[in-house]
Structure 1
Amino acid sequence: MKQRIHRIIAWTLVLLMAFGGTYAFAATGASSGNADSAVKIIFPDTVNHWSQRYVAKLAALGIVNGLGDGTYGAQINVKQQEIIAMAVRLMGAEEEADKLSNMGTSLQVSDWARKYVLYALQEGILDPSEELKNNGHINWGERTAKREWVAKVIIRALGKDQEAKESADRAASFKDNHDISADALGYVNVAVDLGIITGTSSNEFLPLQSIDRAQTAAIFARAEQYLPQSEAVIKGALTAITADTLRVRDESGQVHMISLGNSTAYYRFDADKQILKSDLAVGQQVYVVLRDHLAVYVEVISDREPTESIFGQFERVDTAARIIKIKIDGQEVEFELDENVAVIDVDGRGSSLSQLIPLSEIELKKSTLSSRIIEIVVKDKPISKRSSGTISNINPEEITILDEETNRLETYPLVEQVIVTHEGKSLTLDDLVISDEIAYRVLNGFVTEITVTAKYVEPVKGTFEGFNEKKTTIFVRNEEGARGYDLAEDVAVHIEGMVYATTNDIFSGDILMLTFDGNGLVRSIKVENRNVEHLQMLELVSVDENLEFIVVKVDKAPRLLYLTEDTILEAYGLEYPVSELSKYITEKQRIDVVLSGEYVQRIKRSEGYTGKVKDYNPAARKIVISNPAIGDLSLNLSPYAFVQIINQSSTTLSDVKIGDEVRVVLSPEDLLVTQIQVKRTLKHTIETINATNRMITALDENNNKRYLSLNSSLAIHHPSKPYATIHDLSAGQIVTVTYYGSSAESINILDYKFGTVEHADRLYQNLTVQTHDGQILIIDTSKNFELTRGAQKIEISALNPGDRISIAQDHEGYTLAQVVLRQMKIINQVESIGEISFVNQMGEVEKMQLAPDVIVRAGNSKISLNDLKKNDRVYVYVVNGVIYEIDKL
């Protein structure tokens, strides 16, 4: 398509015909001797009218002109032939239309409009079959144009007929969508998508309403950007402003010196009225219309030059050569700097090239017009701090530290002459080993000082020989001989198969692995040469008079088990030496034992068993429980048997159901069931922890206070550790606690996952969730499942696909699910080491932790954390104080 012809006389003649009346001619620069006064783009009736900018743009381009009385006629309705003439001129096809002026058309139009209508018919802008319906050809040109018809004409003029056809089945977003003709709907949709046509403030399109000259100017001015650019138009970045010139660099890199006149009109994309020339600023994107090499219309179309972002680590800058070098994925890359490059610091304030610090994470904004860097944004400076932690890895170039404050691995480069000391003595890097505890200083991202606070001690393996009298020192023997090691106050003992082992469970001859804390004290003891076996309901056949062994029946066969002086006797919840055995257990009674090999660690009279109810008849006083270790146990109920269920004060025997997991408590004399303790798992919030007394207070869901004693029968289960201790718990932590009756059996630490609801199947009671790391979880919601939104419990049927959800599961599969509601925040800045800060309306700054694989989105597109800017508004999804997802608004 050819460029439109910009001849002033030709424009005005055409415009005279196009709007049928007496119009003012625009004088040429030659006739007036002053090109600055030759073009009128602002009219008396548009000075305070919303359409001023649109009319001025089209007048500058020669698409419209004023009426004979000097006004524009903003509220005068436009005829169909006038719309077609404007569309053809907007397309720059006037010269081609001139060739068709001697041809005829069945549509009744004014003589001056015939060539435009013929061209429109030839190019498919008008469809004869549509226009000729119901004698539509009669007086066709003089009819006022309707809004939906104008949408059809302009979209076809832009060459987007196919897009309109593809959008014809999509309902428009307007309240009066039903009033839009079927053959116009697709065109209206595309016009709205392109931002060419908008609805009313009440969200109505008014498809059959006549369109006036002001509305037409707005539509055609918005549509102009989708057509080839006129030779009279210059678009680009504003690089300099003087009293009478603008310097503009276009997308090809060519620089244009543009003259300004007294009547040059200035506009902004977000304002209807004129602005001052002083409102222009270097770096803005401008749209300039020229007449006789003079700017008549200047519009700021963007406050920023179009750029692409490049992220990397700052290396150095050559200010003389205007070159910056950064490292991207380990490779050094250089870029040319614009002479007016801006530097923005992490706090959003202006900075300079000389203040850039090596190793800073930066964003370079490269102009897509000049390919030069026009802005440098410092996203993250190398930090400077003092902290402490444990060495995780070290080499001559860098060190990785598990930081005590952040509980994260942090890696830093080392300065060439790093200062290393221990207890006042100088060391070298070679003296440092993994697991050394250190205090360290970071200066501009480099570790400059390291002070060893506790040297790492190699683990010791040996054979247990005993403790000192106070049990504060343990003695082991290996090839280097026997040696004693002092114990830490909270030393942990690990024995495979034992729920909660203590130093009392370590026997002579055990092979031990001792590990040490930073002060050289034993912090954990692992017994490596034995597994623990639990046997229940064994018949005690006989006891050796010297208490060296006992004989029991296992699967109806006798078995010899050895006693030692370290064997512990349990009776009524208390511990006694094995020498007291005859006081509490007699032959023919049933016993439970804990074995290591053939040696008895613990022994007690059988008092109760856990298992799943396999059969149950309260009337017949019978219960059968299935225990994985000892099989099915058929037991009789005592006449006084009762049921105990946590948080249920009133119970009957009928409260027990087949399939329930229970613990049955037996009478000492006749082994009848006196209690049935039903297993329940409850959610608790830890309130306080007393590590010395091994006591925990917690609140259940009803705000009842629970006191939990970490004795040998109360286990702590961690989702990712084989052993867990009291130190894995913290105040405020949510856990599940498993009870048999009113007795706590275990504290279960939860494994949290964040994801999106894919499907909630109410029929099969399954919930499908895609976690933020891409896993698919299918959760059985029929049992041991709790779902909440805020403080309210809800059913899975209340969930919708796309809902964010937090899934917390304990080691037995008990699941706590919570709908994660989004929170609106205002960005302060992305902090270092996995944190982000926000600012509230009071100006207060709040820091929050980021998940290691936090998802950041803008609309449907994933973006980088570095794309977030100060004062950006975002939605965040937070689980236990950690942000898993950020949606930029």
Structure 2
Amino acid sequence: MNKTFKKVMVTGLTVAMMVGGSTAAFADNGNGKGKGNDKDRDNEIRYNGYINNKNDNKNNNNNNNGKDLYINNLNVKNLNIKISFDDVKGGDVEWAARYIASLASKGVFEGYEDGTFQPRKTITRIEAITAAVRLMGLREQAESTDAKNTNLNFKDANKIQDWAKGYVAVALQNDLFEESDDMVQPTKEADRLWATTLLVKALKLQDEAKAKMTTKLNFKDADKIPAGSVGYVAVAIEKNLIDGYEDNTFRPTRPVTRAELAALLDRTGNQLPDNTSVKGTLSSAVSNNTLTFTQNGQSYNIELDSNAYIFRNGSKVSASELRSGDEVLVRTFGGKAIFVEVTKVASGSDLPSNSNFTGTLNATVSNNKLYLNKDNASYSIELASDVTIVRDGRTVSASELKSGDEVLVRTSGGKVVFVAVTKLAGDQNGNFVVNGRYNSLTTNSNDQVTQISIDKILSDGTVQDNVYYNTTSNVTFLYTISNGTTIQGDRSQLTDNRSVELRGNDNVVHTIVIK
């Protein structure tokens, strides 16, 4: 890493202005005299961010004396931070919302002045270069007077807008261009191969890329990737910056959308030094709209911004879903937390808030909570007031659940709304008991009864014989009958729709109880 890069990375976060296609989004908002002008500096908005020490709330000035936690140093003009965008909607782009919020909170890649992000819009090369330079922490250098006045020996230098010249100069100094490049082509769409190469260079991994130029790429269209670019793609795949499509193609010439670039940038940023955030462990759930967390044994408080983006368990959530013990990454602005990402969910705190999963009960229901083991960890989760519980083919109360029952659980809003027992406690030897209504008997050529079928009405979400039913259904089940099966009750009453109970072992019925 060169000295300039190292120096800038430790100076603090410089929040970017809007990144967009319009000139205004990157325009010099000063008076043209650059940072060296005193008036220009006086017009800048500065904020030194400290979080109050929980144990010393009186100490809330900028002299932390070791008791406040220094988060970042914002030094910006035309302050404007927005991290959630209404137009990031639809299955083809919603996956990128987390990446967009993360980058916007760092001031690397934001929306347009009209409040949109336009995730499906393709990105231009100059926009990608600008975002990469900012990701490297070099915005202040790129917007300096010296950088803006740098002589650029590109054939199309006259096509580079004034606001972008400093970014091109800094990108050139940091080896983001090839030595043979004689044009910037600022308005050309950035394709996947070009963007991938740019970000590998931003990570200073050129030497690794060169060492991997003979790698055999397994994409169907690997022959469309130039030999001199193979190493860059190999490194990007290895570092999880980018991957191929479901049909095992890479599509190197496909233009990159703003949503796709957000993912590329954020994955790249995770491998760069980051002084824009603080990491800690929540010491309690959110109370009075305040995060309370510990770092290095010290406790801190910080207020949540009303529009804070909170990412937990793979989705955006409300502050109420944060749990004590969650390990978090927090970014602040204006003295408030604007981005919170749970990097490690608290062990045993809860389970995904809106999902289906399986587990084994490790206790009976107590205090209206379900206690279960899942993936070698123990969890407790509250039952909804209208929860539906199905056990042994019947809808039952929570009190009938037994420790050792294997269950399928459905949650919504952080509470259990449905439980289906897929295997009864004590069935380790294959024992089973099922209830239903008699349908028919099947006999063999010797007129011996070999099978019995019964009907069950299964509620929405029931699992029976490893089949999941997502609607209320009348389903017929067929069971094998063993030789010498016992029939309890009057056999003459074994008629259509008669309630019966089947008892057996290893999927073979040994007792039929007529009810």
TM-score (norm. length: structure 1): 0.31
Map of 2:98 onto structure 1: 53
Q: Distance in 2 between matches of 1:269 and 1:141?
A: 39
**One-letter code of the match for 1:258?**
I
Q: 2:309 aligns with which of 260, 265, 271?
A: 265
Distance 1:175 1:376, change over 3 A: same
The structure-2 alpha-carbon separation of the partners of 1:237 and 1:141, relative to structure 1 and needing over 3 Å to count, comes to same
1:294 to 336, 341, 363: 336
Point out where structure 2 has 5 or more consecutive residues left out of the alignment: 1-5, 30-43, 48-78, 348-359, 365-375, 380-405, 407-420, 431-515
What is the alpha-carbon distance in structure 2 between the residues aligned to residue 227 and residue 350 of structure 1? 46
Does structure 1 retain, via aligned residues, the 8 Å contact 2:23–2:163? no
Task: Confirm whether residue 125 of structure 1 aligns to residue 176 of structure 2.
Answer: yes
CA 1:152–1:350: 2 relative to 1, 3 Å: farther
The 3 A distance-change label for structure 1 pair 113 and 128 is farther
Distance, in Å, in 1 between the alignment partners of 2:266 and 2:190 is 17
User: Hey, what does 2:241 align to over in structure 1?
Assistant: 196
Distance in structure 1 (CA, Å) of the matches to 2:253 and 2:263: 18
Deviation by residue 1:725-784 (Cα, 9 ceiling, x = unmatched):
xxxxxxxxxxxxxxxxxxxxxxxxxxxxxxxxxxxxxxxxxxxxxxxxxxxxxxxxxxxx
Is 1:103 the counterpart of 2:150? The answer is yes
Report deviation, 1:203: 2.5
Distance 1:168 1:243, change over 3 A: farther
Q: Distance in 2 between matches of 1:180 and 1:253?
A: 50
1:20 maps to which of 19, 22, 30: 22
How many angstroms apart in 1 are the aligned matches of 2:125 and 2:323? 41
Letter in 2 for 1:263: N
Q: For 2:21 and 2:152, how far apart are their aligned partners in 1?
A: 20
Mapping for residues 675-824 of structure 1, pairs under 5 Å: none
Deviation at 1:91, TM superposition (A): 0.9
Match of 1:845 in 2: 428
Equivalent residue in structure 1 for 2:85, among 38, 43, 62: 43
Look up the match of 1:169: 214
Q: Give 2:284's aligned residue.
A: 240
User: Aligned to 2:117, which of 58, 69, 72?
Assistant: 72
| Aligned residues of 1:239 and 1:282 also touching (Cα < 8 A) | yes
Counterpart contact for 2:324–2:346, Cα < 8 Å:
no
Higher relative contact order (CA 8 A, sep 6+): 2
Q: Please give the per-residue CA displacement for 1:303-354, whole angstroms capped at 9, x wherever unaligned.
A: 247xxxxxxxxxxxxxxxxxxxxxxxxxxxxxxxxxxxxxxxxx98599xxx
1:260-311 superposed Cα distances (whole Å, 9 cap, x missing partner): 122112113623xx21212211222222110022011112222247xxxxxx
Tell me if the contact between 2:213 and 2:230 (Cα under 8 Å) persists in the aligned partners.
yes
SS at match of 2:126: helix
Q: Does the 8 A contact of 1:23 with 1:66 survive in 2?
A: no
Is the Cα contact below 8 Å between 2:111 and 2:117 reproduced in 1?
yes
1:587-626 correspondence runs (5 A) = none
Q: Which amino acid aligns with 1:297?
A: F
Q: Say which SS state the counterpart of residue 147 (structure 2) adopts.
A: coil
Shift of 1:5: 4.8
Residues 267/67 of structure 1: CA separation in 2 closer, same or farther (3 Å cut) = same
Indicate the SS of the match to 1:45.
coil
8 Å Cα contact 2:26-2:164 kept in structure 1? no
Residues 266, 299 of structure 1: 8 Å contact kept:
yes
> Which blocks of at least 5 consecutive residues in structure 1 are unaligned?
31-36, 306-346, 352-364, 366-374, 378-825, 827-839, 848-889
AA aligned opposite 1:101:
K
Separation in 1, partners of 2:283, 2:103: 26
Which residue of 272, 282, 303 corresponds with 2:324?
282
Letter in 2 for 1:103: T
* CA shift for structure 1 position 174: 2.5
Equivalents in 2 of 1:204, 1:254: separation in Å?
Answer: 49
Q: Which of the residues 180, 198, 218 maps onto 1:153?
A: 198
Paired residues of 1:24 and 1:66 also in contact (CA < 8 A)? no
The whole-number CA distance in structure 2 between the counterparts of 1:350 and 1:91 is: 51
Question: 1:111 corresponds to which letter in structure 2?
Answer: D
**2:320 aligned partner, one-letter code:** S
Give 1:219 deviation, angstroms: 0.9
Decide whether the 8 Å contact of 2:196 with 2:232 is kept in 1.
yes
Task: Name the residue aligned to 2:345.
Answer: 303
Q: Give, in whole Å, the separation in 2 of the partners of 1:237 and 1:75.
A: 36
Residue of structure 1 equivalent to 2:445:
none
Query: Aligned partner of 1:270: which letter?
Result: G
CA shift in 2, pair 1:169/1:101, >3 Å = same
> Contact 1:58/1:221 (CA < 8 Å) preserved in 2?
yes
Q: Distance in 2 between matches of 1:240 and 1:71?
A: 35
**Equivalent position of 2:187 in the other structure:** 142
Q: 1:77 to 1:350 in 2, by over 3 A?
A: same
How far apart are the structure 2 equivalents of 1:350 and 1:189? 49
4+ long deviations beyond 6 Å: 24-30
- Does residue 86 in structure 1 map to residue 140 in structure 2? no
Aligned pair partner of 2:254 in 163, 188, 209: 209
Query: Distance between the aligned counterparts of 1:257 and 1:141, measured in 2?
Result: 45
| Aligned equivalent of 1:113 | 164
Contact 1:168–1:186 (Cα < 8 Å) also in 2: yes
Question: Secondary structure of the equivalent of 1:229?
Answer: coil
Distance in 1 (CA, whole Å) between partners of 2:152 and 2:132 is 18
1:28 Cα deviation from its structure 2 partner? 7.5
CA RMSD between the two structures = 3.6
Q: Whole-Å Cα distance in 2 between the matches of residues 24 and 166 of structure 1? A: 37
Contact 1:24/1:67, CA 8 A, preserved across alignment: no
Q: Secondary structure at the match of 2:283?
A: strand
CA shift, 1:221, in A, is 1.4
Given that 2:289 and 2:304 are in contact with CA atoms closer than 8 Å, whether structure 1 keeps it comes out as yes
Structure 1 residue matching 2:280: 3-state secondary structure: strand
Structure 1 residues 167 and 268: alpha-carbon distance in aligned structure 2, compared to 1, 3 A threshold = farther
Code of the residue aligned with 1:188 in structure 2: it is V
| Contact kept in structure 2, 1:88 and 1:116, CA below 8 Å | yes
**Counterpart residue identity of residue 290, structure 1:** T
In structure 2, do the counterparts of structure 1 residues 52 and 225 end up closer, same or farther at CA, with 3 Å as the change threshold?
same
Matched position secondary structure for 1:197: coil
Distance verdict in 2 for CA 1:249–1:348, change over 3 Å? farther
Aligned to 1:260, what secondary structure does the other structure show?
A: strand
Identify the structure with the greater strand proportion. Answer: 1
Distance between the aligned counterparts of 2:292 and 2:209, measured in 1? Answer: 40
Is the CA contact 1:121–1:128 (under 8 Å) kept in the aligned structure 2?
no
CA offsets per residue over residues 704-739 of structure 1, 9 Å max, x none? xxxxxxxxxxxxxxxxxxxxxxxxxxxxxxxxxxxx
Larger helix proportion of the pair: 2
Return closer, same or farther for 1:247/1:206 CA change in 2, 3 Å cut-off.
same
String of CA shifts for 1:208-249, please: whole Å, max 9, x gaps. 11111111111111221111112x311232222223111233
TM-score after normalising by structure 2: 0.53
Q: Identity over the aligned pairs, expressed in percent?
A: 28
Instruction: Check whether the contact 2:323–2:346 (CA below 8 A) recurs between aligned residues.
Output: no
2:483 corresponds to which residue? Answer: none
| Aligned twin of 1:314 | none
Distance 1:254 1:195 in 2: 34
Question: What is the CA deviation profile of residues 19-77 of structure 1, one whole-angstrom value per residue up to 9, with x for unaligned ones?
Answer: 334559999899xxxxxx96321122114442221111111111122223321111111
